[in-house]
Structure 1
Amino acid sequence: MAVESPRGAELRGAAADADTAETTEVTAEVGATAAGVAAGTAPARDTPGGRDPDTGSPDPAETLSGTAGKTGAAETADGGAHEGGPSGEDGGGATAAAPDAAPRGPLGHRITLWIGARANGTWARMRRHPIFTVIIATAALLRVVAMVGYQPAMFFNDSFDYLHVAMGLYPHPLRPDGYSFLLWALKPFHSFALVAAVQHLMGLSMGVMIYALLRRKFGLPGWGAALATVPVLFDAYQIQLEHLVLSDTTFTFLVMCAVTLLLWHDRPSWKIALAVGLIIGFSWLTRSVGAPVLLGVLVFMLIRRMGWRTMVITAAACALPVLSYMTWYKVDSGKFAITESNGIFLYARVYKFADCHKMHGLPVSEYPLCTEPVNRLPNSQDGIWNAASPFNRFPGTRFSPENNKLGNDFAKRAILGQPGPYLKVVAHDFFRVFRWDRTVFPDKATYSQYEFGKKSNALPDWRMDADSTASGEARAYEHGDARTHVIEPFGGVMRGYQDVFYLRGTMLGGVLLLGLGGMVALWRRFGGEALLPWTLATGLLLAPAATAEFDYRYVLPAVPLAALAAGMAFTPEVRHRLDGWWRRLRGRPGPGGALDVPSEPVGRKVPEVTAG
């Protein structure tokens, strides 16, 4: 029997410790990365050679973690314990215990160690993304000020329709119930402040998604990826929209989730396709404009050659919630539909130009929808909401199946009979988006609801049905006073902020042009991955102009997508292509010594440039 020398035992033990530390380091890094991806804030992967892409210097975390693998001390760049284990008592590097070998102390002690380890990991990730950490923290602070200054939340006219459905679920004839389902889910908490908080978190999450995609997936430097989030995180009207009890923030968040999932995976699995389809379906049930989003996603999949299987799964997954909702609608109202309002809203689009003298074969039943030019009201929406609306010439409720059918048929006749005037009003409303000044529209009463106000206005006493009013249902949901209370000086801070810090229409146009420029550089690949967010952003701006009327709140859902597309115009691949064009224009050879042959073949994905 051989007897091991003390020196051999010492070496064996050191090797075992090193193996344990290395295994723990890898396990902790994988866990931290997975958690970061789920939150949209995953730290960047190390570049080959462990160098920081911004400075070109060796990554301290890479160097120190390599040392830890040799010595058994999983020490991070900030001198604390590795995020996979508890910190040492002296603040230096502490050996990270493997999960199976975790200490079995009292429960309170284990919880304390776990919290400390998580805090260590969070702090390490924040240090690796300092610029974005400052931006997201400041954006969160602004939202806290809004919540303190306007309690418990803010309301728009449409808020009370959503709330009415949430108090007793039924398919609403005017708009789909997706947002009402969210209000219904939060109803047990009896807090509009919670509704506003959830929506503010959605707004912050959209910034995180943009940063994570640009930083991790497309290789932008930290400052560049952080800059792309500013239009979403700091726009005062975006913050105010998040504070309103309205569907727009939820819709935008769902669309951004679908886009993020799709862009994160070059070849999405069937599970990703399923998730994307379901999310788009829920967005469709939140706002009807979600239908074109599905079309845009499927076209993108086709261009990117993601396969018929992926496209079919996405479409089927989207259809599942939508068809289920339509079945519910049919059981309740007798019609297989999502709403009974699309035709009425389309009538509002043609109200400003429709000339019944040029509409041949107009049935007598639609004569009441005709309006002489001298009698027309100033805005398209007046064709629906004004007391003098032509729909008030019909008996019964305004949003009835009969009126919807009449309005839809009349509008189609007007568009086909007068395509020129139709295109003119669509172009007028589309380009109104890009004006520098934010003028009062459509009227002062509506416009004021999009701003942080000075007064605590009373809730309306509109009759929602035979047994309830708007104010009564709001009080029932809140279990108390639901009126918006303006708390100074916080309300004044937000009003002053909103006067200065918002994304002007011309700025949004510039953001879209940046994204378009990046797509032109990759024209052989139909604009590359930026095609998806850019076309969706443009489509979301065009859809209201084509089917209803311009409204300021309809602009904001396009901003995160436009900002993402603009950031993608500065990816290494685009910069490489533009550099090649510039060299050819100046007649200088490229890195390979040839004028026309780029060093990277067209269409090949440039390696990710990611690090801390």
Structure 2
Amino acid sequence: MPGFLRRHWLLLLLLTGGVTLRVLVWLAYEPALLYIDSFRYLGNLEALRPTDLNPLGYTVVLKLLLSFGGLAFVQAVQHLVGVLLAVSLYALVLRYTSRTWIGALACAPVLLDAYQLQIEALIMSELWFQALLVGALWALLGKGEPTGGRAAVAGVLIGCAVITRTIGFTLVVPMVGYLVLAGGAWRSRAGWRRIAVRGTAGLLGVAVVLLPYSAYFRSQAGYWGLTGATGNVLYGRTATVADCAELPQEDAGLQLFCPDEPRDERPGIDYYTHFVYGDPSWPPEGLPDGRTKEELANQFTLAVVRNQPFDFFGSIAKDFLKNFDSLKRTHPKDVPVERWHFQVTYPYYDIGPDSVERYNAVTYAYDGVLPDSDTDLASFLRGYQLGGGYTWGPLLAAFAMLGLLASVGTGRARASGLRSAAFLATGGGLIILLGAAAFEFSWRYQLPALVLLPLGGALGLAAILGTRSGASGVATERRSGLDEYPDEVDAEAVADFRQRYGDNPLTPLVVVIAAYNEAQGIGAVLRGMPTHVGDVPVSTLVVVDGATDDTAAVAHEAGAYVCVASRNRGQGAALRLGYHLAGESGARYIVTTDADGQYDNNEMPLLVKPLLDDTADFVTGSRRLGSYQHDSAIRWLGVRVFSWIASLLTLRRITDTSFGFRAMKAELAMSVTLREPQYQSSELLLGVMARGARVLEVPMTMRLRNNGTSKKGRSIKYGANYARVMFWTWLREYVFRGGKRAGRAARIS
């Protein structure tokens, strides 16, 4: 762990700042911030109408989150996701370079940008759109040249991004470009076959999401579509630049849609989009012929683009360049930047008659409180934001330039293998900004660039400087904790064991027990151990972890095989030694239990049967599914808290992370990275899940110790260390090593 901290100190510093700021935001605004769009999402939770202005992606996420808690819970989860996004970006960069400071450049904007913090506090879709973008990037860039399967996953994620924010459709272009360029496959005929496979898979992945969604839309609207925002998308843009004299004078419909005001006196795009076209009573005099409002808006847009292409595309380019302004200010006729500023008092936006009452009703319905702000915290956050706590526009431009330079092979980038990766991230960021600018400019629409342009710039910088990585091409972190197996103590203990028992003395099913000064209780545990599970004989291996009492002698007299480590290193070290020794001595299946009599070893058949049936690779008992006695309220709470954290980290429901009665295939136990001398339970569980193992929970019994006191120390200290190990194991296995999402953690009731 000290080595890990030294290597990643800059990330940890940024994480400290990012987490602190998010806690302050969560405390500053109760229960969460609400914008105009928030009420559209909340108002569609039950009906799930695809024809509304906003697509259903975020509405579904919001509905799921609200089933667990209120708006304050949603805000907390969104802040957590923001932190995880930053860590994911950091880890993705380190798969291509060992320069941790470059990884820090990629994640710092997400962690520290005040506009990012504000959008996470809002009941809005932007954060989840960012998360889907990062997921697609990991699918494509996480490990070597993309395969058809990974391209399909990326396509599915992009499809989900589209139904979260329709601007996500623009990402299909850089995805296809990357699938063509990645690995230099385009240079050979065989490579083009690979391109065809993965390109088709990527597009099918997008279609798998969008076609059913569009069919659902058609069932509600009577025509194919993705959102109710159709004809008005570009009407506002063209209305601000249209020269009415250039339109057909005889077409009353097009003339009706052309504003009466001179072009230099017209309001902004937002006005024509939402307050003109978006007004259901406009035009008050009605339409002049049989064309619908949407048809006329589309025809008006096409006519303006055809007659005034330079005005149209020039206005888009002007808005696109605003993203790189040195100051985040409100440009003339644009959406006010104040909408995305932290306010000292709780902000109420105009959502129609009785706006305040509607705000109050919504927050009270979900959280039982009225909207409120802590003025001191809110003032601090506002000062941080207005005082420069955001990503400087020229810095974003620099990131974009680095990504583009690497994409064309500048300097060492030509031979780095990172050109296509830099192109994907940078191209994705730029095309989203350009697509958003085609609609209208808003600082809110810049937020997806915070995860894409810094990543593209970081990859570009790594390419230009030249990568420094291991043979696998992926940067690796320094190891800490236990040395790799076998260390000096392991080797000595194994040699002594083989001298006494031979090379393969154990049965196919071995029970491994780690014991330290357990002479008083281990005899009773061993005498109650089953000799067979079905037709499979059972042998017991006790690893004595540097005990100072007669544990080894008592275990030997009770008929167990005994392996003695010369010094005490912790339960994790003893169990790791036992796993390898059992596997190397003939075991096919390994069961772990404790030496203190807390588990009912007569329940072993239930634990082992899924292994013998080959329906699971790893089976763990669960006191919460079964029954248990406890003598500590803190530990009772800790079991639940850590189960919830592990479930969140692995996206699989886990009810008990620290139950010591477990069964697993021997080769799986030997393959897991185990570095923790203590607090090893969650390291093993998350490790096997990261390898894609089939994990099963079964109900079990847990009793109080039959003697002595627990060696886990004080509950609070133990809990803090347990949380540390769980988090760093997840970071190592899932983030840095790209672990698989394990098969669903099943349960037997």
Q: TM-score, normalised by structure 1?
A: 0.68
Of the three residues 362, 368, 382, the one matched with 2:271 is 382
Give 1:342's aligned residue: 230
Of the three residues 510, 526, 537, the one matched with 2:429 is 537
- Displacement of 1:135 in angstroms is 1.4
Is 1:136 the counterpart of 2:15 in the alignment? yes
Q: Match of 1:207, as an amino acid?
A: A
Distance 2:209 2:286 in 1: 31
Give 2:404's aligned residue: 516
Give 1:610's aligned residue: 476
Distance 2:474 2:8 in 1: 17
Give 2:443's aligned residue: 552
- Displacement of 1:361 in angstroms is 8.0
Is 1:369 the counterpart of 2:257 in the alignment? yes
Of the three residues 286, 296, 304, the one matched with 1:406 is 296
Distance 1:460 1:356 in 2: 32
Give 2:113's aligned residue: 235
Distance 2:179 2:334 in 1: 43
Q: Match of 1:382, as an amino acid?
A: Y
Give 2:207's aligned residue: 319
Contact 2:31–2:367 (CA<8 Å) still a contact in 1? no
Distance 1:372 1:460 in 2: 27
Q: Match of 1:347, as an amino acid?
A: Y
Cα distance 1:321–1:419, how it changes in 2: closer, same or farther (>3 A)?
Answer: same
Cα distance 1:198–1:395, how it changes in 2: closer, same or farther (>3 A)?
Answer: farther
- Displacement of 1:420 in angstroms is 1.0
Of the three residues 158, 171, 175, the one matched with 1:297 is 175
Cα distance 1:609–1:475, how it changes in 2: closer, same or farther (>3 A)?
Answer: closer
Of the three residues 177, 185, 189, the one matched with 2:64 is 185
Q: Deviations over 1:146-184 (max 9, x none)?
A: 100111111111111111112432113322111111111
Give 1:11's aligned residue: none
Contact 1:511–1:563 (CA<8 Å) still a contact in 2? yes
Q: Deviations over 1:129-156 (max 9, x none)?
A: 2221221122111101110011111111
Is 1:415 the counterpart of 2:305 in the alignment? yes
Contact 1:174–1:339 (CA<8 Å) still a contact in 2? yes
Q: TM-score, normalised by structure 2?
A: 0.57
- Displacement of 1:421 in angstroms is 0.6
Distance 2:277 2:195 in 1: 52
- 1:195-234 alignment, distance < 5 Å: 195-215=74-94, 217-234=95-112
Give 1:49's aligned residue: none
Distance 2:51 2:361 in 1: 16
- Displacement of 1:486 in angstroms is 0.8
Give 1:194's aligned residue: 73
Q: 3-state SS of the aligned residue for 2:211?
A: helix
Q: Deviations over 1:576-596 (max 9, x none)?
A: 49xxxxxxxxxxxxxxxxxxx
Give 1:495's aligned residue: 382
Distance 1:441 1:154 in 2: 25
Distance 1:411 1:611 in 2: 54
Q: 3-state SS of the aligned residue for 2:161?
A: helix
Contact 1:187–1:477 (CA<8 Å) still a contact in 2? no
Contact 1:248–1:557 (CA<8 Å) still a contact in 2? yes
Give 2:247's aligned residue: 359
Q: 3-state SS of the aligned residue for 2:405?
A: helix
Give 1:285's aligned residue: 163
- Displacement of 1:549 in angstroms is 0.8
Q: Deviations over 1:309-353 (max 9, x none)?
A: 222122112112211111111111111111232321211111111
- Displacement of 1:461 in angstroms is 6.1
Contact 2:400–2:456 (CA<8 Å) still a contact in 1? yes
In our comparison, the structure showing a higher alpha carbon Rg is 2
Q: 3-state SS of the aligned residue for 1:550?
A: coil
Contact 1:254–1:279 (CA<8 Å) still a contact in 2? yes
Distance 1:239 1:527 in 2: 31
Q: Match of 2:82, as an amino acid?
A: G
Contact 1:220–1:570 (CA<8 Å) still a contact in 2? no
Distance 2:46 2:364 in 1: 9
Contact 2:418–2:459 (CA<8 Å) still a contact in 1? no
- Displacement of 1:394 in angstroms is 5.5
Q: 3-state SS of the aligned residue for 2:166?
A: coil
Distance 1:446 1:607 in 2: 46
- 1:542-581 alignment, distance < 5 Å: 542-546=434-438, 548-571=439-462, 573-576=463-466
- Displacement of 1:204 in angstroms is 1.2
Is 1:432 the counterpart of 2:322 in the alignment? yes
Cα distance 1:324–1:442, how it changes in 2: closer, same or farther (>3 A)?
Answer: farther
Task: Count residues in correspondence.
Answer: 457
Q: Match of 2:311, as an amino acid?
A: P
Q: 3-state SS of the aligned residue for 1:184?
A: helix
Of the three residues 252, 256, 273, the one matched with 2:134 is 256
Q: Match of 1:407, as an amino acid?
A: A
Of the three residues 135, 140, 144, the one matched with 1:266 is 144
Contact 1:231–1:503 (CA<8 Å) still a contact in 2? yes
RMSD, aligned α-carbons: 3.2
Distance 2:364 2:215 in 1: 30
Distance 2:174 2:140 in 1: 12
- 1:1-150 alignment, distance < 5 Å: 125-126=4-5, 128-150=7-29
- Displacement of 1:479 in angstroms is 4.7
Is 1:164 the counterpart of 2:52 in the alignment? no
Distance 2:316 2:35 in 1: 25
Structure 2: state its 5+ residue gaps.
186-193, 479-749
* Larger RCO (CA within 8 A; separation ≥ 6): 1
Distance 2:311 2:418 in 1: 32
Of the three residues 366, 372, 377, the one matched with 1:478 is 366
Identity %: 26
Moved more, 319-328 or 436-445: 436-445
Give 1:528's aligned residue: 420
Q: 3-state SS of the aligned residue for 2:43?
A: helix
- Displacement of 1:411 in angstroms is 0.5
- Displacement of 1:523 in angstroms is 5.7
Distance 1:319 1:148 in 2: 41
Q: Match of 1:311, as an amino acid?
A: G
Q: 3-state SS of the aligned residue for 1:342?
A: coil
- Displacement of 1:494 in angstroms is 1.2
Distance 1:246 1:286 in 2: 10
